[in-house]
Amino acid sequence: MPEVTGRTRLYGILADPIHHVKTPEVMHSVFARHGIDGVLVPMHVAPDGLARALDGLRVMQNFGGFIATVPHKPAMLGLCDAVDGDAALIGAVNCVRREADGRMIGAMLDGIGFVAGLREAGIEPAGKRILLAGAGGAASAIAFAVAEAGAAALTIANRTVAKAAALAGRVGTTYPACTTAAVAEPEAVGDYDLVVNATSLGLRPDDPMPLDPAGLHAGQVVAEAIMDPAETPLLAAARARGAAVHPGLPMLRCQIELMARHMGALA
């Protein structure tokens, strides 16, 4: 815990529930590494109090910004005064900067953090054929970020195929250089350079696989958006077939510095 004085700049994380959040510890290690006099505190806000909480934070002049997590990411989009990047197209905001005049500027950094984590591990999405399982919040953020990063082709596979088609349409319109497609069940998983699980399947031990791993092979990368467990059954199956695996945790770790930057704590 950093020392707090009258000069310390305040930041927050808004969530409901709040007890499980690890962001304060992780952000404080970033602050310590960069010599930043800041503190990030957990703020337990229920959905029906979100707009009022935001109004309170607008008038706190030593408040720099906050992280928004479950269940606040979609609602936060409508409450910000402006948003950066693809947040409006993704439909969610997970980090907000408070400007000196109290204006709140949102960004959605989940997908950008995912791409930063890939690149840190030496995996470059530009020019790649990507299969993305899922079309919910996490998948939307990742879809826009890999297309923005220069993916050549993106196939989105989702149980509710209409959601995959809508997402593929939005991504394809925004990044026409990326060829997009939508399917209910992925066929030929071996045809892709990079396979990403962004469904919630793998969080619980009795979940079915998000896709059939039988066709996976050496030379492919299989990546997870799930952070806990670190090794999902999909990653274990991919590893057993010789594919390289990329776990979910780097997405969060790489995002922390991006969040510190967006909130103006880091130059």
**Enzyme catalytic residues:** 73
Distance CA 148, CA 177 (A): 9
Q: Please count the other Cβ atoms lying within 10 Å of the Cβ belonging to residue 55.
A: 12
How far the first Cα of the chain sits from its last, in Å, is 22
Residues 119 to 158 in contact with ligand ATR, rule: CB under 6 A: 134-139, 158
Pick between residue 57 and residue 225 the one whose CB is nearest to ligand ATR.
225
Beta strand pairing status for 82-83 and 221-224? unpaired
255 lies in the site for ligand ATR, by CB under 6 A: no
Do 60 and 41 contact (CB within 8 A), yes or no? no
- Judged by CB under 6 A, which of 10, 14, 201, 251 binds ligand ATR? 201
69 vs 220, beta carbon nearer ligand ATR: 69
- Contact between 111 and ligand ATR (CB under 6 A)? no
Task: Give the Cα separation of 94 and 216 in Å (integer).
Answer: 33
Token couple for 157: 């596979």
Binding to ligand ATR by residue 160, rule CB under 6 A? Answer: yes
Count the residues of the shown chain that bind ligand ATR, applying the rule CB under 6 A: 13
Binding flag, residue 259, ligand ATR (CB under 6 A): no
The pair of three-digit structure tokens given for residue 233, joined into one six-digit string = 């059954």
Distance CA 141, CA 143 (A): 6
- 253 binds ligand ATR per the rule CB under 6 A: no
Near ligand ATR by CB under 6 A: residue from 8, 174, 179, 200: 200
58 binds ligand ATR (CB under 6 A): no
Is residue 199 close enough to count as binding ligand ATR by CB under 6 A?
yes
The Cα–Cα gap between 151 and 179 comes to 9
Q: Which is nearer to ligand ATR, 4 or 203 (CB)?
A: 203
* Smallest distance, ligand ATR to C-beta of residue 148, A: 18
CB of 225 to ligand ATR, least distance (A): 7
Strands across the sheet with 9-15, in order?
Answer: 38-44, 9-15, 63-68, 95-98, 104-107, 82-83
3-state secondary structure of 11: strand
- On the 0-12 / 13-18 / 19+ scale of CB atoms within 10 A, 259 is buried
**Separation of alpha carbons 225 and 214, rounded Å:** 20
Which one, 39 or 201, has the nearer CB to ligand ATR?
A: 201
Q: Does 30 bind ligand ATR (CB under 6 A)?
A: no
- Cβ at position 134, least distance to ligand ATR in Å: 4
Contact range with ligand ATR by CB under 6 A, out of 80-88, 146-154, 169-177, 195-203: 195-203
- Would you tell me which residues interact with ligand ATR (CB under 6 A)? 134-139, 158-160, 163, 199-201
